[in-house]
Amino acid sequence: MKSVVILISGRGSNMRSLVEAALPGRIAAVVANRPDAQGLEYARGRGIATEVVDHKAFATRDAFDAALGAAIDRHSAQLVALAGFMRVLGAAFVRRYEGRLLNIHPSLLPAFPGLHTHERALAAGVKIHGATVHFVTPELDHGPIVVQAAVPVLAGDDAETLAARVLRQEHVIYPRAVRWFLEGRLAIENGVVRVAGGGAQLEFAAA
């Protein structure tokens, strides 16, 4: 059975969606870069091993990345899933876990990489917004796309209401992507992710 290590920084709602999805693998550990990350308490309550690698304790990004990698490797992870992990990882770290490092991002990449995606989507006047699960590469929020979910932007939306609509879909597509990985169904061909045996790589949400 393949093992998954989940990285969080805060409440860990996407982490919860993975834990509760009855995936064909083992959640080996939840690792946070903040000792006050709320998701740690949930993981402990589910009997999942937890670790804290506090980024503030390290003078350089490389030193933090090395300690984070050591924590991951202690749990023999075949997959590392970023679930609201709010630290930019260095290129060497990303290469170390190439092809087995997934992230979920609250926009329809390549649109709106980085932070404040919902505010930026509203400011741009887009009519469709959403979320993306992708493989992580050294370029921020630009890795091969596994699956996306699209949601309508409604009249009267603010960043909070739009974020809530997107988050509901994040909880649908992230377990789907991780399941595909654990089942050995994902392949990257010329920078494009294919799912063996088929599978919906785009989810449309009703208003």
Catalytic residues: 105
Q: How many residues does the chain have?
A: 207
- The single-letter DSSP state of residue 93 is H
CA distance 146 to 187: 9
Characterize 73-90 residue by residue with b for buried, 16 or more Cβ atoms within 10 angstroms of its Cβ, and e for exposed: eebebbbbbbbbbebebb
Contact 15, 4 (CB under 8 A): no
Contact 117, 130 (CB under 8 A): no
Side-chain-facing half-sphere of 113: CA atoms under 13 Å: 12
Our CA angle for 101, 23, 32, nearest 5°, is: 45
Listed in sequence order, the residues at least 6 apart from 57 whose beta carbon sits closer than 8 Å to its beta carbon are none
